[in-house]
C-alpha cells in the first residue's frame, strides 16, 4: 500500500514497537576517558603536541591541526561552572522536587569540560565561576559510565 501524503495534518501513527539492537562503543579515546572515571576516580585529557591544547574528553587527533595527540593522562575532576540551568520539571512535565541543577563544568587545566548535575548546593547559591569537584560513586558500584560521577559539588 502506497499513498503520497501532501498535507502534514494527514500523517497518521501506528502504535507499536520496533525491535532495535545496538552496541555502543566509546572508541579508543572515549574508552580511556571512561576507564579513568571507573578505575581511578578522575578524568582523562589528551594534548596536541603542536597546538598545546588539552582536550577533555581526550581526542586521538587535534581538531585544529589534525596532529596525533599525546596518550590520555589523568586530570583531577574539578573545575568551574561556566553556565548552568535549574530544571523544575522533568522531560514529561512532572514537577521536580527538589529542582535539578545542570551545569557545564570547565575542567581545570583543559580546553574541555562536561555537562553534569550539581549537588550539595542550593540553586540560589550557584553562580558562574563557582569552583566544583566531582562526587564519584563508590568504586564497587562504578560501571564505566559518565554517571559513575553522581554530581559535582562546590569545593570546600
What residue ranges bind Zn ion (CB under 5 A)?
48, 50-51, 62, 64-65, 67
| 8 A C-beta contact, residue 45 and residue 107 | yes
Q: What span, in angstroms and rounded, lies between the C-alpha atoms of 59 and 83?
A: 23
Q: Which is nearer to Zn ion, 40 or 64 (CB)?
A: 64
Q: Which is nearer to Zn ion, 6 or 52 (CB)?
A: 52
| Closest CB 62 distance from Zn ion, rounded Å | 3
Dihedral class, residue 150 (left if φ above 0, else alpha if ψ from -120 to 50, else beta): alpha
| DSSP character string of 43-63 | EEEEE-TTT--EESS--SB-T
Q: Which is nearer to Zn ion, 65 or 147 (CB)?
A: 65
Phi/psi of residue 98, nearest 5 degrees: -75, 165
Grid coordinates given for 125:
547559591
- E-assigned strands of 11-129? 43-47, 54-55, 73-75, 78-89, 95-107, 113-118
| Closest CB 46 distance from Zn ion, rounded Å | 11
Beta bridge partners of 25: none
| Closest CB 64 distance from Zn ion, rounded Å | 5
Q: Which is nearer to Zn ion, 71 or 122 (CB)?
A: 71
| Closest CB 70 distance from Zn ion, rounded Å | 11
Grid coordinates given for 12:
497518521
Q: Which is nearer to Zn ion, 39 or 50 (CB)?
A: 50
| Closest CB 51 distance from Zn ion, rounded Å | 3
Amino acid at each position: 500500500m502506497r499513498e503520497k501524503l501532501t498535507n502534514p495534518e494527514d500523517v497518521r501513527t501506528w502504535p507499536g514497537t520496533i525491535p532495535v539492537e545496538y552496541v555502543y562503543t566509546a572508541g579508543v579515546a572515549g574508552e580511556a576517558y571512561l576507564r579513568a572515571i571507573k578505575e581511578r576516580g578522575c578524568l582523562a585529557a589528551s594534548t596536541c603536541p603542536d597546538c598545546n591544547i588539552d582536550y577533555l574528553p581526550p581526542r586521538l587527533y587535534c581538531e585544529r591541526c589534525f596532529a596525533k595527540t599525546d596518550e590520555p593522562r589523568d586530570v583531577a575532576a574539578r573545575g568551574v561552572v561556566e553556565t548552568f540551568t535549574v530544571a523544575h520539571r522533568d522531560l514529561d512535565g512532572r514537577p521536580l522536587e527538589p529542582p535539578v541543577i545542570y551545569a557545564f563544568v570547565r575542567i581545570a587545566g583543559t580546553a574541555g569540560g562536561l555537562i553534569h548535575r550539581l549537588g550539595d548546593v542550593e540553586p540560589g547559591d550557584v553562580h558562574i565561576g563557582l569552583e566544583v569537584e566531582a562526587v564519584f560513586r563508590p568504586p564497587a558500584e562504578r560501571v564505566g559510565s559518565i554517571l559513575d560521577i553522581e554530581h559535582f559539588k562546590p569545593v570546600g
